[in-house]
Amino acid sequence: MPLASAVTICLVDEARSGPFVFHCGAETGSDLATAVRTAAAAGFDGVEVFPPSAAEVAPGELGALLSSHGLRLAAVGTGAGWVRHRLHLCHPDAAVRNSARDFIAAIVDLAGSCGAPAIIGSMQGNSGPAVERDAALDHLAEGLAVLSARARSHGQVLLYEPLNRYETNLFTRQGDAAAFLAARGLDDVRLLCDLFHMNIEETDVAGALLQCGSRVGHVHFADSNRQAVGQGHTPMEPVVAALREIGYDGFLSAEVLPLPTPLEAARRTIDSFRRLVTG
Ligand code: LER
Ligand code: MN
């Protein structure tokens, strides 16, 4: 399959200022159906959804909505577990870690029933005084093992996303995360390579993608300033060339700020996608 385009849709009020193109909810006056229709009209192949919880999205309705517009579900975020409930996979309290796993597992099921993987981004958490790094990495590996086994039951992988240093102290670079996954035998976990985080943390963004090869499972398509690709200063041609060289055939998903407006961010993304990938 060729590289595909996707755009993010956030259904979480608390993430209103986050890097998502379309925000739905009472405050925005938009809803999922409107956002999906707009994404299809803008020319995207798929959407990535950030739901408040699995229970608040009916899988049948989501699947029907997407297929009525000819769109695929690219991935589903789990970060509402952190944003809303302060859950994460490395919490010192085992009961909280279990709640984090349960929250994510329900989203793995929702995503899997619509043919998509779930994302572990901010739900990975951090190490700290109460959980030193070695213990935190054991908790992370345990969580990823359980959740990727669940993803496998849907024929899916689980996506693990290294974040920049201001958001996690676990893994900030793709190569380090890939080595960790390999060392822990986490064969059904793939990397989510967010080009915004990579611009901050990697010495060489394209080189990191080449190094990770078949571990690359999803890409957040964002420029250096977290705006639509083309609005910042990340050189994107070598990034796309690296993705082609490793045989990546998944989504380039626009997890970017809705600037100057959601529709314009979507249009700028599609223009860049066509220029770099299909054009
Ligand atoms: C957060 O910065 C981010 O990139 C998200 O994809 C994490 O869930
Ligand atoms: Mn991201």
Q: pLDDT per residue over 94-119, tens digit each? A: 999 999 999 999 999 999 999 999 99
Q: How confident is the model at residue 223 (pLDDT cuts 50, 70, 90)?
A: very high
The DSSP call for residue 55 is G
- Nearest Cα residue to 149 out of 124, 112, 121: 112
> Cα separation of 123 and 264, whole Å?
30
Altogether, the residues listed in the chain come to a count of 279
- Nearest Cα residue to 230 out of 249, 252, 251: 252
Q: How confident is the model at residue 256 (pLDDT cuts 50, 70, 90)?
A: very high
- Ligand 2 centroid from CA 161, angstroms: 7
Question: What domains can be seen in the chain, in order of their start residue?
Answer: 4-278 (3.20.20.150)
Residue nearest to atom 6 of ligand 1 (CA): 121
Residue nearest to atom 2 of ligand 1 (CA): 163
User: Under DSSP, is residue 96 helix (H, G, I), strand (E, B) or coil?
Assistant: helix
194 lines ligand 1 (CB under 6 A): yes
pLDDT in tens, 118-155: 999 999 999 999 999 999 999 999 999 999 999 999 99
Residues 6+ apart with CB under 8 A from 123: 78, 79, 81, 82, 87, 88, 89, 100, 103, 104
Ligand 1 atom at shortest distance from the alpha carbon of 192: 6
254 neighbors 232 (Cβ within 8 angstroms):
no
175 lines ligand 1 (CB under 6 A): no
Q: What percent of the chain has pLDDT over 90?
A: 96
Give the DSSP H/E element, type plus range, for residue 151: helix 133-152
User: How many Cα atoms occupy the beta-carbon half-sphere of 155 within 13 Å?
Assistant: 4
99 neighbors 47 (Cβ within 8 angstroms):
no
125 lines ligand 1 (CB under 6 A): no
pLDDT in tens, 168-205: 999 999 999 999 999 999 999 999 999 999 999 999 99
Structure-token pair, residue 9: 């849709």
Ligand 1 atom at shortest distance from the alpha carbon of 167: 2
User: Under DSSP, is residue 128 helix (H, G, I), strand (E, B) or coil?
Assistant: strand
- Ligand 1 centroid from CA 146, angstroms: 21
User: Which ranges in 77-132 belong to alpha helices (H)?
Assistant: 80-83, 94-113
164 lines ligand 1 (CB under 6 A): no
So what's the pLDDT on residue 96?
98
> Cα separation of 44 and 271, whole Å?
11
Ligand 1 atom at shortest distance from the alpha carbon of 79: 8
- Ligand 2 centroid from CA 150, angstroms: 22
